[in-house]
Amino acid sequence: MRILFMGTGEIALPVFRRLAKRKEMVGLVTQPDRPFGRSSKPRPPIIKQEAKKLSIPILQPEDVRRAEEIAAIRDLKPELIVVMAYGQILPAGLLRIPRLGCINIHASLLPRHRGASCIQAAISAGDLESGISIIKMVERLDAGDVLIERSVPLHANETGGSLHDRLSEIAPDLLMEYLETIETDEVEGIPQDHALATYAPQLQRLDGQVDWGASAGILERRIRAFEPWPGSYTNFTDDKGRNRRLKVFPGVGLIKELEAARPGEIVRVEPEGISVACGRGGLMLNNLQIEGGKRLPAAELIRGNSIVVGRCFFSLASEA
């Protein structure tokens, strides 16, 4: 079976590595090299570097919808196209190329959390489980029939990073199970109930700002979901009148009942943590990092910084 893999994100690496061992991979399609860091020097995707070591043909179309890019993929004569965290929508002309179709490995239990930030969305929403869905690809985003899926429970301290790693580990085995099945049988997918679909668009840096008007429970889940990207941060004014950015790490404590205070107001400053009022309840912040500094426990951060009762943390809506 001639397999073409299309992927870019790190979550796709374990699947790529497993497929590469089958000696049937006819090529890799990944995103172009992108500027990185202060030097803006183009950096290739990690998956491209691994493919080069294995002498696997590599395509990096800027726009996979162009006729010449579709033709280049057709020339590889794939019988099956496997997609995971690729980063572009595939056109109908490409979907029709392989005789066994195109399948997408998606990191949620569809139809819940279609889209790029599906991992973070499951944690933010307070879901009890997440998982991997392998679907038949159609032109509509993440809307194809579910061919096979596997669920995992979400832990109470689950972060975006930990769930990313767990799902990336189960994806290769699930794909191998599917490939073994289609070698002898035709797999009938289960149509998704589109009425139950939810959407998780790609996250931006701005999404990491802490909205203190939300409830403490919602914010606690978001802080875990957004670790490591886009992270969670707020702002405060120091003694010199400067706005300082403060990153908030997971491990915050929930305060269900809190005296009346403005959202974002600091109500207690103790070695155990900094207690902050939310729209409902409060949070005790334990591990923080002032921009330009290092990560510190609350007991160390409050020494020498303007973190005092009565002041407020706030967000800058225009901040990028």
pLDDT at 52 over 50: yes
Tens digits of residue pLDDT in 109-148: 999 999 999 999 999 999 999 999 999 999 999 999 999 9
Q: How confident is residue 37, by pLDDT bands cut at 50, 70 and 90?
A: confident
Which pLDDT value is given to residue 24? 87
Average pLDDT for the chain: 95
- Residue 112 and residue 123: Cα distance in Å, rounded? 12
Determine the pLDDT at residue 317.
Answer: 65
Closest CA to 140 of 199, 190, 99, 182: 199
Q: What span, in angstroms and rounded, lies between the C-alpha atoms of 230 and 304?
A: 28
CATH code, residues 205-301: 3.10.25.10
Cα angle 190-159-282, degrees, rounded to a multiple of 5: 120
**Band of pLDDT at residue 303, cut at 50, 70 and 90:** confident
Percent of the chain exceeding pLDDT 70 equals 99
Confidence of residue 316 (pLDDT cuts 50, 70, 90): confident
Q: What is the pLDDT of residues 142-185, one digit of tens each?
A: 999 999 999 999 999 999 999 999 999 999 999 999 999 998 88
Instruction: Summarize the confidence of residues 259-267 as an average pLDDT.
Output: 93
The pTM of this model reads: 0.95
Ranges of H-type helices in the chain: 13-20, 46-53, 67-75, 92-95, 118-124, 160-182, 216-225, 298-301
Query: What is the pLDDT averaged over residues 224-234?
Result: 98
* Record: fold of 3-196: Rossmann fold (3.40.50)
Residue type, 111: P
Phi, psi of 178 (to 5 degrees): -65, -45
Where does the pLDDT of residue 217 fall: very low under 50, low under 70, confident under 90, or very high at 90 and above? Answer: very high
Which amino acid is present at 122?
A: A
> For the chain, what is the largest distance between any 2 Cα atoms, rounded to a whole number of angstroms?
71
Among 34-48, 66-80, 219-233, the range scoring the smallest mean pLDDT is 34-48
What residue ranges do the domains of the chain occupy?
3-196, 205-301
- pLDDT exceeding 90 applies to what percent of the chain? 89
